[in-house]
Amino acid sequence: MKLIAKRARDEIYRWSCEISAKEKAVVTIQNLVATAGLKQRLDLDIIARLFPGTEYRPEQFPGLVFRLKKPKTATLLFSSGKMVCTGSKSERQARKAVSTILNELKRNKIVIVGKPSIKVVNIVASGGLGGSIDLEKTTYSLKKTMYEPEQFPGLIYRMDEPKVVMLLFASGNFVCTGAKKEEEVHHAVAKLQETLESKGLLSYK
């Protein structure tokens, strides 16, 4: 009975340690890039005159940069009606930025036809797993990795599901790119942590 009780305590302790370890993972979305398409052309010269704070140098770049303080974003407007919003921290912020710009254009007598189709094309997130990673062993244990420490200290790991690219550092820090949804980022990090733990590649202090 004592042996069984001891094993039960050990199992509970191991389980609680795994839970607490997984809770150490931190994820922060640094940048979300979204595109929006208007079914009309835009006169960027007129927009630049109406909004002096915008940046438009057609001889250098065909897009007009429309910056917002809230949410803090920079959106490229093209004469084709295409918009590219960068700098937001969530899909909700990106949609709000696009909506705010269109409302500003409407207030200045620029006719906007219909609602734009908004699509997230890339999410960049960073964070830490709360432990150190053995990058040397990781490159041999996982497929689709690239690690050349003499050139760069990070290991590149291309995941198939979800389809993202993880940049891993020995400190346990990471950068995730390629996700199209915020849930994919968190799923990728959870899956990465589980994989590294199961192969003994991630150690906690």
Structure-token match 């960027």, residue found: 44
Is the pLDDT at 20 greater than 50? The verdict is no
| 110 and 137 housed in the same domain | no
Of 89, 120, 151, the position where a domain reaches its end is: 120
- Structural domain range at position 106: 34-120
What mean pLDDT, rounded, does the chain reach? 90
| 114 and 135 housed in the same domain | no
Tens-digit pLDDT profile for residues 31-86:
999 999 999 999 999 999 999 999 999 999 999 999 999 999 999 999 999 999 99
Overall number of domains in the chain: 2
Q: 67: burial class by Cβ within 10 Å (0-12, 13-18, 19+)?
A: middle
Q: What is the mean pLDDT of residues 95-101?
A: 97
Mapped onto helix, strand or coil, the DSSP state of residue 23 is coil
CATH number at residue 158: 3.30.310.10
Q: 5: burial class by Cβ within 10 Å (0-12, 13-18, 19+)?
A: exposed
| 95 and 43 housed in the same domain | yes
| 115 and 144 housed in the same domain | no
In this structure, which amino acid lies at residue 198?
A: S
- Say if 23 falls within a structural domain: no
pTM greater than 0.75 (yes/no): yes
The token duo for 195 is 């994989």
| 141 and 159 housed in the same domain | yes
**C-alpha closest to that of 194 among 148, 155, 146, 142:** 142
